[in-house]
Amino acid sequence: MGQPTPARTDWWRSAVIYQVYVRSFADGDGDGTGDLAGVRARLPYLAGLGVDALWFTPWYRSPMKDGGYDVADYRAIDPAFGTLAEAEKLIAEAGELGIRTIVDIVPNHVSDQHPWFRAALAGGPERELFHFRPGRGEQGELPPNDWRSEFGGPAWTRLPDGDWYLHLFAPEQPDLNWAHPTVRREHEDVLRFWFERGVAGVRIDSAALLAKDPRLPDLAGGRGPHPYVDRDELHDVYRAWRSIADAYGAVFVGEVWLPDSERFARYLRPDELHTAFNFSFLTCPWDAARLRAAIDETLAEHAPVGAPATWVLCNHDVTRTVTRYGRADTGFDFATKAFGTPTELALGTRRARAAALLSLALPGSVYVYQGEELGLPEAEVPVERIQDPMHARSGGTDPGRDGCRVPLPWAAGEPYAGFGSRQEPWLPQPAGWASYAVDRQQGDPASVLALYRAAIRLRPVFGDGPLTWLPAPDGVLAFTRAEDVLCVVNLAGTPADLPPHTGLLLGSGPLDDDGRLPTDTAVWLRA
């Protein structure tokens, strides 16, 4: 297979990367589930948007107990999505349009339907590839330790034979034992498998969770290194991965949720991962001082290791931006998600438009989650239709993540807003979804889609210089990178005077009658 356009080797340092959640992107065969045929048919749309790369959330064979993050076979495409041959075609066709492909590798766990786990359940030596332990209590009736699943409930499930196995996520996602050489070897082979197929990068799921303290101690009262978050032995794994990626000119982006910036930066040392997601920006409320602090901290933590920052406003796990910014609490926190949170969508949309210009002006790479470029809000999925395990495992209090995973609207006048299905899609689209359709926005210069297109096209005017903050009133963010281009964002309650400039390149909304920048509006200016 051909490698995608090898023109620039440092493309990832400033790329715009579009996240494709295949199941909800476009339905090519009409069965209600998005698929590779749907993506292939929409490649011209993605090229028109101007993105440099596509990140596909897991497209491998999976029982879909966690939206594909429960992988049964890393070398096969899920039949609901298509075939391996089709994935190869997709990678090649995207490459012809100058778009690179990033796949998602899930090394912390596999599906309980993965051949290794099935063999382990049958009592084979594969048990060593997982974490099986006897329980505590007289009859072994208590879990081996006090760890909790990220989705709620204990991180252990008991088998009929009395043993327990560890799963940091759903019970259908048993954790692998990364101390075992077979686990390491297998993942290195899987990387090569996809690099051989022309993939330009890999997103690493739950990248800081793989290694476990072999004693599996309780969390409560523990001192010293965490028994499963950010353990030192992980860096060895990623050094080995890096040498494989280097042989193919491929890159990594790690999903690394860590509050400690020094520990975070270790993953980005020159012989480890190229980039990692920056979640402080994603979780930050719509507040000038806090955003500025999040930006400064991010740039400062990346600087010593020479890695570019990544800027993400939303993804398939979090509340969509226009909804989040339209609420009283504009930050994001998994712990406080609730049903029925009052939301002012017009306000959220105005802010999300300004945030788009802010993030696309910052130094580093930017991720756009499918539908973000359409200004889609978080959908309220009827409770009986929710599939995300986060909902059920919270005891029904957490709405889960399906609200940001609803199938995209492509054509307003077609059934299911042109998603392509002949029957109702796997998640229902809410009333009014068609008004966000691509064909509605395409010809409208005031649409969110038009703003994203223009911003992605213009973004190179900022150059690759470092960010310099400019003096600005309270609540206003103003910075430059190239000498003569400025980004100004007004988060204050009153209109702001613009700094001296010779031209307006792009605005997230119109200026007021006095030429001032209204609240919740951003502009790119020629100085």
Question: What's the closest the beta carbon of residue 106 comes to ligand NOJ, in angstroms?
Answer: 5
Beta bridge partners of 496: 517
Residue with token string 């596999």: 110
Q: Is 178 an interacting residue with respect to ligand NOJ (CB under 6 A)? A: no
Name the burial class of residue 283, with classes exposed (0-12), middle (13-18) and buried (19+) by CB atoms within 10 angstroms of its CB: middle
Is 66 or 301 the residue whose CB approaches ligand NOJ more closely? 66
Instruction: Look at residues 178, 166, 169, 187 and name the one whose alpha carbon lies nearest to residue 74.
Output: 187
Please tell me the number of Cα atoms within 13 Å of 77 on its side-chain side.
20
Q: Is 429 an interacting residue with respect to ligand NOJ (CB under 6 A)? A: no
Longest dimension (CA), the chain: 78
Is 316 or 353 the residue whose CB approaches ligand NOJ more closely? 316
Number of neighbouring beta carbons within 10 Å of residue 196: 11
Q: Which of 37, 106, 309, 455 binds ligand NOJ (CB under 6 A)?
A: 106
Told to judge if 483 belongs to the known catalytic residues of this protein, a careful annotator would answer: no
Q: Which of 27, 35, 52, 66 binds ligand NOJ (CB under 6 A)?
A: 66
Is 255 or 520 the residue whose CB approaches ligand NOJ more closely? 255
Q: Is 317 an interacting residue with respect to ligand NOJ (CB under 6 A)? A: yes
Is 101 or 206 the residue whose CB approaches ligand NOJ more closely? 206
Is 230 or 255 the residue whose CB approaches ligand NOJ more closely? 255
Question: What's the closest the beta carbon of residue 167 comes to ligand NOJ, in angstroms?
Answer: 10
CB 332 within 8 A of CB 282: yes
Is 67 or 82 the residue whose CB approaches ligand NOJ more closely? 67
Residues in contact with ligand NOJ, shown as a per-residue x/- string from 236 to 275 under the rule CB under 6 A: -------------------x--------------------
Question: What's the closest the beta carbon of residue 151 comes to ligand NOJ, in angstroms?
Answer: 8
Question: For residue 238, which phi and psi values (nearest 5 degrees)?
Answer: -75, -25
Q: Is 147 an interacting residue with respect to ligand NOJ (CB under 6 A)? A: no
Contacts of 82 by beta carbon, 8 Å cutoff, 6+ apart: 35, 36, 37
* Assigned token pair, 474: 């309270």
Rounded distance between C-alpha atoms, residue 169 and residue 173, angstroms: 6
Q: Are strands 468-469 and 476-480 parallel, antiparallel or unpaired?
A: antiparallel
Q: Which stretch binds ligand NOJ (CB under 6 A): 61-69, 112-120, 365-373, 478-486?
A: 61-69
Which residue lies nearest ligand NOJ, judged by its C-beta? 69
Is 104 or 163 the residue whose CB approaches ligand NOJ more closely? 104
DSSP letters spanning 251-314: EEEE----S-HHHHHHTTSTTS-SEE--HHHHH--S-HHHHHHHHHHHHHHHGGGTPPPEEES-
Q: Which of 69, 116, 117, 267 binds ligand NOJ (CB under 6 A)?
A: 69
Q: Is 378 an interacting residue with respect to ligand NOJ (CB under 6 A)? A: no
Residue 66, amino acid = D
DSSP letters spanning 335-363: GG--TT----HHHHHHHHHHHHHHHHHSS
Q: Is 175 an interacting residue with respect to ligand NOJ (CB under 6 A)? A: no
* Length of the chain (residues): 527
Q: Is 402 an interacting residue with respect to ligand NOJ (CB under 6 A)? A: no
Question: What's the closest the beta carbon of residue 140 comes to ligand NOJ, in angstroms?
Answer: 28
Q: Which of 62, 101, 177, 206 binds ligand NOJ (CB under 6 A)?
A: 206
CB 94 within 8 A of CB 104: no
Told to judge if 512 belongs to the known catalytic residues of this protein, a careful annotator would answer: no
Q: Which of 59, 169, 410, 416 binds ligand NOJ (CB under 6 A)?
A: 169
Question: What's the closest the beta carbon of residue 110 comes to ligand NOJ, in angstroms?
Answer: 10
Question: What's the closest the beta carbon of residue 255 comes to ligand NOJ, in angstroms?
Answer: 6
Instruction: Look at residues 482, 455, 450 and name the one whose alpha carbon lies nearest to residue 355.
Output: 455
* Alpha-carbon Rg for the chain in angstroms: 23
User: Which residues form the catalytic set?
Assistant: 205, 255
Q: Which residues bind ligand NOJ (CB under 6 A)?
A: 66-67, 69, 106, 169, 205-206, 255, 316-317
